[in-house]
A and B are shown apart, each in its own frame.
Chain A
Amino acid sequence: MSGTPTGRGAAEGAGRATALLCENAAWLAWLEVREDPAVASFDAVRLPCSGTVETGFLLRLLEYGRRGVIVLGCPKDSCEYTRGSHRAEKRVGVARAALREAGLNEERIRMDFISSVDGPRLIAVLRAFIEGLDRGAARADSAPGAGAGGSP
């Protein structure tokens, strides 16, 4: 049985974003750009395939205080495991729908597809993701009754 996340795992990296990267493409692009300032606010997690991502895991990361979670899979037509990126996209969609249904900011979870040689696009995607989180936080701060909970 489990409940509200507490302890070491809940505190680590709170307020930072997480990038879940498929090791067959997006991770290789990440290695090329990891010194870029755009990736400084992300913690990277290397996955054997983006298709291993579960919906509950994405939501759990937000529960643990992660500002946002972005899943970066292979381009769908060149997925190492054929359907991995497609599966991940569906699960990300379910997680976003869960947030939307609960009246929360679905932009805190996103999916994109990055090839191993597309470092510049990876930087652009990460920048856009952070900017989206900032806009969401600004909207939440200006909403009536803001300040109660405080997720961006």
Chain B
Amino acid sequence: MITAVRKPFAEIAASLEPYGRVLVLGCGTCVTVCMAGGEKEVGVLASTLRLADREKGRERQVLEATIERQCDREFFDAVKTPVAAVDAVLSMACGVGVQFLGEVFPDAVVLPGLDTKFYGATVEQGVWSERCSGCGTCVVGEFGGICPVTRCSKSLLNGPCGGSQNGKCEVDPKGIDCGWQLIYDRMQRLGILDRLERVQPLKDWSTGRAGGPGKIVREDVAL
């Protein structure tokens, strides 16, 4: 899933300051799972905004809604009316949803309520960890199912750097496992360690961020 965390309240409040009617719009998919921008989080933020407004004696309308996804056009139909009725929409979706909201409603002022982080997995309740960088040409099959592009801080494809100590990465020796230690251990466990002797060719980075904004066109499923 795409993971995110909510922006600090002060930053959100400052961004909404000029607007008299706002809609806090949640997303029911990734950011609901990572508990940052789903219906519950929208409710907490909207309530807090209204309580803060009341404390200041400010008359402002804070609406709240959550749709299934903010990265698919059809789900926005449910909020056409409130979006048209407010001065700004605070999107509690990832960066994709925020921008697509603005594309679907070109006249709406759209603001982000979250900081989008990474493609990650829920490793335990309340803990999410990055697993994929979306590089466009997956190589995990060559490395025992562990991605060196993402799990190695330097995205090295031909072995660890000198900063690998006791299974940890020099970037953060307490928090980050050395991706190459993980790869080595996993391939040893699978009995395929010999595959590491293959020299990896230069990776084509143009299929990822280095190639500019990505786009997929599937004629077979297009209407």
Interface residues in chain A, defined as those with a beta carbon under 8 Å from any beta carbon in chain B: 1-4, 54-56, 59-60, 62-63, 94-95, 98-99, 101-104, 148-151
Known contacts A56-B40, A63-B47: A98-B64 contact under CB 8 Å: no
Known contacts A102-B9, A102-B51, A149-B57: A55-B44 contact under CB 8 Å: yes
Are A62 and B51 neighbours in the complex by a CB distance under 8 Å? yes
Are A1 and B57 neighbours in the complex by a CB distance under 8 Å? no
Tally chain B residues at the interface, Cβ within 8 Å. Answer: 28
Tell whether B117 is near chain A: CB-to-CB under 8 Å: no
Known: A1-B82, A4-B50, A149-B57. 20 other contacts (CB 8 A): A1-B65, A1-B79, A2-B63, A4-B61, A56-B40, A59-B47, A60-B47, A62-B51, A63-B50, A95-B44, A98-B47, A99-B51, A102-B9, A102-B13, A102-B49, A103-B52, A104-B48, A149-B56, A150-B54, A151-B55
Are B52 and A56 neighbours in the complex by a CB distance under 8 Å? no
Question: From A95, which residue of chain B is reached at the shortest CB distance?
Answer: B44
Question: From B52, which residue of chain A is reached at the shortest CB distance?
Answer: A102
A selection of 26 A-B contacts at a CB cut-off of 8 Å is: A1-B79, A2-B64, A3-B64, A54-B40, A56-B40, A56-B44, A59-B43, A59-B48, A60-B47, A63-B50, A63-B51, A98-B44, A98-B45, A99-B48, A101-B9, A101-B48, A102-B49, A102-B52, A104-B48, A104-B51, A104-B55, A148-B57, A149-B54, A149-B57, A150-B54, A151-B51
Question: From B54, which residue of chain A is reached at the shortest CB distance?
Answer: A149
Are B50 and A148 neighbours in the complex by a CB distance under 8 Å? no
Tell whether B127 is near chain A: CB-to-CB under 8 Å: no
Known contacts A103-B52, A151-B55: A1-B9 contact under CB 8 Å: no
Q: Which residues of A contact B63 (CB under 8 A)?
A: 1-3
* Interface SS, B side: helix
Known contacts A148-B56, A148-B57: A1-B64 contact under CB 8 Å: yes
Min C-beta distance of B55 to chain A, whole Å:
4
Q: Which residues of B contact A4 (CB under 8 A)?
A: 50, 61-62
Tell whether B10 is near chain A: CB-to-CB under 8 Å: yes
Are A55 and B40 neighbours in the complex by a CB distance under 8 Å? yes
Are B55 and A56 neighbours in the complex by a CB distance under 8 Å? no
Min C-beta distance of A80 to chain B, whole Å:
21
In Å, the complex CA distance between A101 and B47 comes to 13
Question: From A98, which residue of chain B is reached at the shortest CB distance?
Answer: B48
Min C-beta distance of B179 to chain A, whole Å:
32
Q: Which residues of B contact A56 (CB under 8 A)?
A: 40, 43-44, 47
Q: Which residues of B contact A102 (CB under 8 A)?
A: 9, 13, 48-49, 51-52
Known contacts A1-B79, A4-B61, A102-B9: A94-B44 contact under CB 8 Å: yes
Min C-beta distance of A99 to chain B, whole Å:
7
6 A-B pairs with least C-beta separation:
A148-B57, A56-B43, A59-B47, A1-B65, A149-B55, A101-B9
